[in-house]
A and B are shown apart, each in its own frame.
Chain A
């Protein structure tokens, strides 16, 4: 019953799966994994801070899920403060992980644990970079003391030279990218990078169709023709030309060309030909979801007159059948 409700199109199936898995991963992350990830990231930024901002940062502490940066920049207050705690939002930096997990869980294929682990490891420096960019902008805001984007500087001035307008703008762009854009784009890019076969076969099939066709096109692939003679007997031959068939026919509908799915099925049943093998290898790499599309493309490419991808075959009015996966 549940299989009937699922869409047949693998792209839509993936999309619906993502709609379920992403909120689920976000919930698990929020309730169970957020605090450990935040602590780890705060520890990493705190460890790198003396190298990145040696005269500005004293320490970075976590308190109740909130990271606090202890700044060494004295403030223009009476009496002057030697240390200034600056709130540092790091939630967005660690939100890249559940999004990536959600995408990956919805993607068919083998090695799920390996893909999850590898993607998480790749995203670790991205999250660190986001935290560093956010921290840098907060320092810049504190030093320059000019409202920027949607943020207001602290009420007290830091006793330090402000950043130049260009540097302030660039740090602002960095902050926007790290808080607003990278949390969305980074998991998507890592997911794209780790699921090349799925992407190529389903989402970006148009972009890469030529290379797929070239890789799977056999050297010589004449069409399979069936000639029906006057007695109604069928003659099947791979090297039969249409003219030859016409000579043996006695009526207008005596010659008929196999539909692409028929010829492909024959090849599949015989289990011969490099084209079939290469397509099968590609199918196994792409996973179950990619089979239909890559098989259809192979079939299209071997029919004369339908050489370029996307042309409808058989022509309008004839039924097109899906090639069964081997």
Chain B
């Protein structure tokens, strides 16, 4: 348990330290955030709404949002990845967890982006609270849920892995 927590902290710090490097931010995170904005705009127009995308700015009639750190789900994804990498498990399961976890976090994050955009039109005074706190907690619970589901899919641990874990 202790080893798991320390590995989690170490891997987490390493991942976050890498992601906040200016080069990584400019060449990986920024294009990724822009692509999320494009997907959000595409989803809104596909379901009959009106949306315009300019870089990382998503505009609907009456409100605009700029998608920045945290809103792109990178932090939540890295947290999940740190947990999955720290937990003793076969590498095949880990890789599936990393991939499906990323998709799970980003799927809910897309719901977050679109819902917040419309919330800005409907109840702008609620935007700040829902954006920073309610959705933040929900994304964290999403990370926890994905981790629990992944735990249940794991094969029974062998004695060697038990020994490594304890």
Contacts and interface: CB of A to CB of B under 8 A. Distances in A.
Whether A and B are associated in the same complex: the answer reads: yes
Given A102-B137, A208-B1, A310-B157, A95 B87 contact: no
A210 B159 contact: yes
Nearest to B78: A181
A308 B21 CA distance: 45
B165 interface: yes
B20 A30 contact: no
A15 B68 CA distance: 29
A166 to B, nearest CB: 11
A188 B140 contact: yes
Contacts of A200: 1
Contact of B69 (A23, A149, A189): A149
A183 interface: yes
Contacts of B75: 180-181, 184
B159 A184 contact: no
Interface residues of A, number: 42
A209 B163 CA distance: 11
Contact of B148 (A11, A98, A309): A11
Contact of A23 (B17, B87, B134, B157): B134
A30 B131 CA distance: 13
Interface residues of B, number: 40
A23 B162 contact: no
Contacts of B79: 181, 184-185
Nearest to A25: B137
B156 interface: yes
A49 interface: no
B141 interface: yes
A15 B69 contact: no
B166 A173 contact: no
B42 interface: no
Most chain A CB neighbours (cut-off 10 Å) among B79, B132, B163: B132
A204 interface: yes
Given A19-B141, A181-B79, A188-B140, A173 B16 contact: yes
A176 B145 CA distance: 24
B133 A30 contact: yes
Contacts of B132: 91-92, 95
Contact of B136 (A150, A184, A308): A184
B107 interface: no
Interface string B112-139: 0000000000000000010011101100
Contact of B70 (A180, A189, A310): A180
Contacts of A26: 129, 133-134, 137
Nearest to B151: A206
B129 A208 contact: no
B4 interface: yes
Given A150-B69, A180-B75, A208-B166, A173 B141 contact: no
Interface string A308-320: 1111000000000
Interface string A8-30: 00010001001100110010001
Interface in A86-122: 91-92, 95, 98-99, 102
Interface in B1-50: 1, 4-5, 12, 16-17, 20-22, 25
Given A173-B20, A210-B157, 8 more contacts: A15-B141, A95-B136, A172-B20, A176-B69, A184-B75, A207-B166, A210-B162, A310-B156
25 contacts: A15-B141, A95-B133, A98-B133, A149-B25, A169-B20, A176-B69, A180-B70, A181-B16, A181-B79, A183-B136, A184-B79, A184-B136, A184-B140, A188-B140, A188-B144, A189-B5, A203-B148, A203-B151, A204-B1, A207-B4, A207-B166, A208-B166, A210-B159, A309-B156, A309-B157
